[in-house]
Amino acid sequence: MNSKFFDLAKEKQDRMINAALKIFAKNGYKGASTDEIVKEAGISKGLLFHYFVSKLGVYTFIFDYSTKYMTLELTTSVDKEESDFFEIYKQIESAKMHALKNYPYMQEFLYSTVYEDVSEALLAIEDKKTALTEVYGDLYSRMNTEVFGAEVDTEKLRKMIDLTMKGLMEEHFREGSFQPEMLFKEEADYLDMMRSLTMKV
């Protein structure tokens, strides 16, 4: 990647980043086309390749950019003293929504990389994949699970929450109604409902 990319006006950088995030999120690495990326960004293919050399270069850059950006949001937005299980989840989702105000497809892109099966793409991001996983692991480790009854399997509860949050986001995108504030409000409502169903009486 050509470091002079960061000399471009921020608006143009973000236009290119958002175009790549959207196309890769929707199509995966194999199905994504640089023709679609440049069309979405409103730039020439020559300019894209000047900064990123290849499709793989674009993919590697936006994965690295996304993990660093999301890591920053999570580590600065989630209260380090908080231990309440559901409050931490709310703060995680709030941090994600803050990122999505600037980069609407960033989380969808990160979700898509979990299921990526093209070897060259996997190898290109392999050494960067653990960073964000470790951040989430640290956040989960702070959650107090002693408030739950014995019948609550916290690992299954986390999986249920993660799938619910992912499903809500996908639903908003499918309906063409994605607005971070509205999505966060709906997510918070689901988390409050789950709290009332799982906490000890």
Write the CA distances from 32 to 2, 100, 113, 148, integer angstroms: 21, 21, 13, 44
d(CA 94, CA 97): 5
Nearest to 32 by CA among 112, 132, 126: 112
The distance of Cα 18 from the centroid of its chain, to the nearest Å, equals 13
pLDDT tens, position by position, 108-133: 999 999 889 999 999 999 888 888 99
d(CA 46, CA 63): 21
- Model confidence, pTM: 0.90
Residue 200's pLDDT is 62
